[in-house]
Each structure stands twice: as structure tokens, then as C-alpha cells.
Chains A and B, each alone.
Chain A
Amino acid sequence: MSSLNEGLAKVWETHRFTLISILSVMFVLAVWAFVTMFFTISALIIPSPTVFLAKLKEVFTQGYVGKSMFAHISSSVLRTSAGLLAAIALGIPIGLAAGYNKYISAIITPFTSFLRPIPPIAYIPLVILWFGIGEFSKVSLVFMGAFLYMTLNCSAGVRSVPRDLILVARNLGATERQLFFKVILPASLPFVVTGIKTATAISWSIIVAAELVAAQEGLGYMIMDAATFFRIPEVYVGIMIVGIIGFVLESIVRLLENKTCHWAGK
């Protein structure tokens, strides 16, 4: 009996924060089940867990409005990835260059400072006007939001490189090129990865918002369509899938971060 107690104490000691998180989630789920079971709340406002799970199963087996769940999910994910990857591919070199060279910085800073406080969703009407409601307009919206964050983070990364590290490299005979690739680039990496992390989260929320406005498939479209036709359980299902995929995307970037920047901040 006492050894069991000891075992439990040990589990608590090492995993207590994970356990607390699990309990916290279970508590909220329990409140949800309790509220929907004992109060007469219409499934049109908060569906009960059973209704929710049934809908979840239904949309995954039968799809939603004639398209499989896989089609909705993959079109949202593909749009996000296309815009995000383009933003990363362009944002890194431009951001690093702006951090490294004061002239380049002077050229782009007025624009980045002006655009930063504007939420990307505000461009939706413009983007539709310019590019129509096709794929390109959505991808370019994601690009606009993500690119700004990539650029800003990368240039901040270069400016944060400790002066001593640069002096050491110069002192030991590094050329400008070596200085950039062997010191400035690796030293800015944590900022670059933070940029990717922020840009990923932003891209995902932009795409869902964009699909709310104009799309024929995608998770945002599904949520909006379901709301329009009062299929509230499907709205909840859509929101939950958006959350889970966002979490997965973030975890992938965090994996990248742990692999490349384990030394940062220590």
C-alpha cells in the first residue's frame, strides 16, 4: 500500500503540471456535459457532448455539403502553407538584409511601420477587388500578413547579435561573407524561428477569416455556411478542427525550434 503511495507521489512529482492540465481540461468537459444535461439548453446554442460527437463522426464519414472533410481541411492547410512558405522564403533574406544594412532598412522601414498595425483581414475587400475570389487572393492575403512578421523578426534578429561575437569573428580573420554565414545568420536563428512561429499562427487565423468571406471549401467556409443554415453543431465541430490543426502546425514549428535553437536564451 505504502509503495503504491510512493509510486503515486513520484508520478505527481515528475508530471504534476501535465496532470494539472489534463484535469483542467477534464473539468471543463465535465461542466459542458453537466450544463447541457441538466439545463434545457437548445442544441442550437450549445450542443451536448453526445450530439457534438455524433456530428463529428457524421462530417468525417459523410463530409460537409458534398465535400469530404479531408477536402475542406486540405484546402485550408494548402492555402496557408503556400502563403506562409512564400512569406518565409522572401521574408528571411529581405529581413536579414534590412537588419544588416542600414540603407535597406531605411528603404523598407516606413512601409513595415505603417503596415504593422493594420490587421491583415482588413485587406480582404481589396484583395477580392484585385484578385477575385479565387485561390490566389487567399494565398496572397496570408502572404501579406506572414511576410511582415518574418521581415520584422529577421531584421530584429540581426540587430540583436552581440557585438562581442562579431568582434571575435573579425578578430580571428573572418571575411564579410564568413561573418554573415558563420556568425550573424546562426546568431539570428532564434529570432527567425520565432518569426516563423508567429507567422504560422497568423497565417492560420487569416486563412480561416478569409474563407469566412469568400470560398467554396475550407474550414472557414464550413463554419460560415453552417452558421448561415443554423447547423450549429457543425459550427462547433468546425471551430474545434481549426483549433486542433492550429495546434498541430504550432507543434511542428516548435519541433523545429527545439532542434535548431536549443542553445537560445541559456
Chain B
Amino acid sequence: MRENSNVRIELKNVTKVYRSEERNADVVALQNVSFEIKDKEIVSIVGPSGCGKSTIINIIAGFDTNGVTGEVLIDGARINKIGRDRVVVFQTHALFPWLRVRENIAFGLKIHGLEEKEITKKVKEFIESTNLTGFEEHYPYQLSGGMKQRVALARALINEPRILLMDEPFGALDAQTRLEMQENLLAICRQLHPTILLVTHDIEEAILLSNRILVLTPRPGKIKYKKPVNLPEPREYGVVTCDEFVSCKKELLSILHSYKK
């Protein structure tokens, strides 16, 4: 086992096959994917639709272990099941529609039998940091898309996961709301410093938020390119006009463009 304690997530030659009932209909979704993500790093995955981005998230989360070969290591140890140390934020927010905002956020703490007083205190804190004050008693159907996604984010973060796995978390939002969410995420990261793996189809979002970007090929997904992003920290929206940002964007666009036939 590797002694580099700084590496949080490591994939070694991961291949994933979706087995099908019918003969010869198996789908190879990922092929020999290897990468490392260091502690507190924010890494984005971009690539054409259907290349296996969600599959990577599901494998690291431990949702899907069938047909996976290769090694997935968290802090040097092989994962074998779902863990609360790696929390997923879905594109479809996946809030519990029968629970109020504060109950949704408290879900993970309740499951673990934290004291009621402690839960109330922490929920209040996370409601404030995600700008949801005043909406504690609302149900998800009474919220806008951006608010729902903030509730989903708070519900994940309140468990203080060391790893946050985000699958196109802002994909369903309009440009303005997405921008607010990105800033919100950056602000939260400055406080909690989780390691983040972010799947996105928005190249600007990937550059703005991450330290490194992994580009996948069309199916079967392989890692085509690992691009470090050297932008000044702390990140803020102003960087989108700087030279590094623009050249980075050009480079990624030309790679993704070459996939189009």
C-alpha cells in the first residue's frame, strides 16, 4: 500500500462493465481509469455525454460494485461499501418531499441519533451558511430549483464528509442561479475544506471551481488528459477573464470538440 497520506481518493485501472441480460449487449462504461485526488483538492471531470462520469461517482460512492475491476482506495484502503465519509449530491437534488427543509437537512444527524439540541443548533448553522434562513419550515415543493439544490448541499455538508461527490449538481439551474451556487460552494469550501470530485458539463464551471480537470474520452471512458488549473486563490468569479482561464478554456474546448464526428 502506498504511504502517501496526502492522497484521499485513488483509482487504479478501474474498468466497469454494465452486464446485460441479453448476450453480447454488455456495455464497457470505463476502461483502465486511474487517477489520484489529494486531500482538500477540488477535481472536476468533464467529457461527452455517456462517457461514464456518473459511473465514476457511483463507483467511488460505493453505490455500484457489480462488474467493477481494478482498485478504488480511500485514504489508502479499499472501499467495499457505501460510506458516510463520501457524500453524493445529485443533479436531481433528491430531497425527501415529505420533510420540511430543516428536517431534510437534519436527516443524516437524526439517523445517527445525535441529540435533538445538537441537531437544532447545527441545522441552524447550515441553514445560515447556505442562505436558507426563513425557509426552515417549507417543503421542497415550495422552493425554487436553486434553493432545493442548496438544501441538498446543506444536507450533505452537515455530516462533515471528508469527500463530497457532486454529479452535475448545478446542471439543472439557470445561469444566474448557477453562479450564486458556485460562489456559495466556494465559500463553504473555504470553511470546511472537503475534498471534492465534481462532474460537470460546464467547462467554465470546471475551471472556476477546480484545482485539476480530468477529461474523459467517449465511451468506453478513459482518461484522456489531466489539466492542472493554476488560478489565484481564493477563487472568485473575476478570474473568468484572465489569460490563464481563457487559454485553459480554449484548450479544453478543442479537446472536447475533437470528439464530435
Question: Which B residue sits closest to A260, measured CB to CB?
Answer: B98
A17 CB to closest chain B CB, in angstroms? 23
Residues on the B chain within 8 Å of A168, using CB:
88, 90, 94, 96, 107, 155
Q: Which of A7-15, A88-96, A102-110, A180-188 interfaces with chain B? A: A180-188
With A173-B108, A173-B112 in contact, do A164 and B84 touch (Cβ < 8 Å)?
no
Query: Main SS of the interface on chain A?
Result: helix
B201 CB to closest chain A CB, in angstroms? 19
Q: Which single member of B87, B96, B139 contacts A165 (CB below 8 Å)? A: B96
Does any Cβ of A come within 8 Å of B184's Cβ?
no
Does any Cβ of A come within 8 Å of B92's Cβ?
yes
Residues on the A chain within 8 Å of B94, using CB:
162, 164-165, 167-168
With A168-B90, A263-B140 in contact, do A186 and B98 touch (Cβ < 8 Å)?
yes
> Do A172 and B107 touch (CB < 8 A)?
yes
Does any Cβ of B come within 8 Å of A113's Cβ?
no
Does any Cβ of A come within 8 Å of B37's Cβ?
no
Residues on the A chain within 8 Å of B87, using CB:
171-172
Q: Report, as a range, how many residues of chain A touch the other chain.
A: 20 to 34
> Do B96 and A172 touch (CB < 8 A)?
no
Sample of 23 A–B contacts (CB below 8 Å): A164-B92, A167-B63, A167-B90, A167-B94, A168-B88, A168-B96, A168-B107, A169-B107, A170-B63, A171-B63, A171-B82, A171-B84, A172-B87, A172-B107, A172-B108, A172-B155, A173-B108, A173-B112, A182-B107, A183-B96, A262-B139, A263-B139, A266-B141
Contact surface of A with B, Cβ cutoff 8 Å: 162, 164-165, 167-175, 178, 182-183, 186-187, 189, 262-264, 266
Beyond known contacts A167-B90, A168-B88: 19 more, CB 8 A cutoff: A162-B94, A164-B92, A164-B94, A167-B63, A167-B88, A168-B90, A168-B96, A171-B63, A171-B88, A173-B84, A175-B111, A182-B107, A182-B111, A187-B96, A187-B98, A189-B98, A262-B139, A263-B140, A266-B97
Contact surface of B with A, Cβ cutoff 8 Å: 61, 63, 82, 84, 86-88, 90, 92, 94, 96-98, 107-108, 111-112, 139-141, 155, 159
